[in-house]
């Protein structure tokens, strides 16, 4: 009997106190499909790191953490979420990976050539700047989408779609409700109606939702 008590006590000692589970799915911003082989980290002590199969899960004690996800293929994709754990339960934090743009701040450091310098030196300075601007514009262009609705919708649904279009095709449900001044119940019914019509897609992110307009073909 004493051996059984000792084993149970040992098991209890190995279970972390006030432990919570943080888990979720990692989506691509462009396809809204789960992303495999993304590297996910959380700044516990020691740091935890996994290679995702489309989902991730961490067990952590109470505290404030930063979850980061990174994926590199043709384009570097990145996501970051802050979370504070205050109780022992399950937390669902979905991550949406977006292209990672670095701020272009080199302009302040550029020393323009003196008048007597050759025109070739001017071109050498200008080419990297022009290339950076063209790359940035290219990714902005890729983020522009064509959203067309095949059927005629009621006025309130049309208003919702126009707002999401102005936001670039995606907006949080909380921000959308704030812009429209609707109650949570009415907003949920409208989103459900648009989902049923295959016009939008709702993705859970943290404690809220991101609403995406579905892209239609030309």
Cα dihedral angle (88, 90, 91, 97), rounded to 10 degrees? Answer: 140
Position 119 scores a pLDDT of: 53
Is residue 218 one of the residues assigned to a domain?
A: no
Distance CA 83, CA 66 (A): 6
Which of 84, 117, 142 corresponds to the end of one domain?
142
The runs of H, that is alpha helices, within the chain are 2-14, 119-142, 155-166, 173-180, 184-196
What's the mean per-residue pLDDT of the chain?
A: 78
Position 43 scores a pLDDT of: 95
- Between these two residues, 118 and 198, which has the higher pLDDT value? 198
Position 105 scores a pLDDT of: 47
- Between these two residues, 11 and 21, which has the higher pLDDT value? 21
Strand, helix or coil for residue 91: strand
Which residues span the domain enclosing 116?
106-142
Share of the chain above pLDDT 70, in %: 67
Please tell me whether residues 66 and 27 are part of one structural domain.
Answer: yes
Position 183 scores a pLDDT of: 86
Please tell me whether residues 20 and 71 are part of one structural domain.
Answer: yes
Is residue 159 one of the residues assigned to a domain?
A: yes
Is residue 148 one of the residues assigned to a domain?
A: no
Q: H or E stretch including 42?
A: strand 39-42
- Between these two residues, 127 and 182, which has the higher pLDDT value? 182
Please tell me whether residues 82 and 165 are part of one structural domain.
Answer: no
Position 218 scores a pLDDT of: 42
Please tell me whether residues 77 and 110 are part of one structural domain.
Answer: no
Please tell me whether residues 61 and 93 are part of one structural domain.
Answer: yes
Position 80 scores a pLDDT of: 92
| Tens of pLDDT, residues 85-139 | 998 899 989 888 888 765 444 444 555 555 555 555 555 556 667 666 766 665 5
In the chain, the number of structural domains is: 3
Please tell me whether residues 194 and 173 are part of one structural domain.
Answer: yes
* Those residues with Cβ within 8 angstroms of residue 29's Cβ, 6 or more apart along the chain or in another chain: 77, 96, 97, 98, 99
Please tell me whether residues 171 and 129 are part of one structural domain.
Answer: no
Is residue 31 one of the residues assigned to a domain?
A: yes
Please tell me whether residues 93 and 112 are part of one structural domain.
Answer: no
Which of 88, 120, 142 corresponds to the end of one domain?
142
Please tell me whether residues 160 and 208 are part of one structural domain.
Answer: yes
Is residue 149 one of the residues assigned to a domain?
A: no
CB atoms within 10 A of CB 33: 11
- pTM here is 0.46
Token pair of 127 as six digits: 């080419």
Position 104 scores a pLDDT of: 42
What values do phi and psi take at 32, rounded to 5? 60, 25
- Between these two residues, 6 and 179, which has the higher pLDDT value? 179
Mean pLDDT, rounded, for 60-69: 94
Is residue 50 one of the residues assigned to a domain?
A: yes
Share of the chain above pLDDT 90, in %: 33
Position 111 scores a pLDDT of: 55
Report angle CA 181, 158, 193 to the nearest 5 degrees. 80
| pLDDT band with cut points at 50, 70 and 90 for residue 211 | very high
């Amino acid at each position: 009997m004493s051996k059984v008590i000792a084993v149970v006590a040992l098991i209890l000692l190995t279970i972390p106190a006030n432990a919570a589970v943080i888990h979720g799915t990692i989506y691509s911003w462009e396809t809204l499909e789960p992303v495999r082989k993304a590297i996910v980290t959380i700044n516990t002590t020691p740091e935890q790191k996994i290679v995702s199969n489309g989902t991730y899960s961490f067990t952590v004690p109470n505290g404030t953490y930063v979850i980061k996800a990174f994926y590199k293929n043709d384009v570097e994709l990145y996501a970051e979420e802050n979370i504070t754990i205050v109780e022992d339960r399950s937390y669902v934090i979905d991550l949406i990976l977006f292209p990672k743009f670095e701020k272009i701040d080199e302009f302040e450091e550029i020393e323009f050539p003196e008048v007597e310098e050759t025109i070739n030196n001017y071109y050498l300075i200008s080419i990297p700047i022009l290339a950076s601007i063209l790359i940035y514009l290219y990714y902005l262009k890729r983020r522009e989408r064509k959203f067309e609705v095949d059927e005629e919708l009621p006025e309130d649904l049309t208003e919702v779609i126009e707002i999401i279009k102005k936001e670039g095709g995606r907006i949080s449900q909380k921000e959308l409700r704030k812009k429209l001044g609707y109650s949570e119940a009415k907003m949920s019914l409208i989103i459900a109606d648009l989902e049923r019509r295959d016009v939008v897609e709702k993705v859970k992110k943290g404690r809220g939702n991101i609403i995406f307009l579905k892209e239609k073909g030309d």
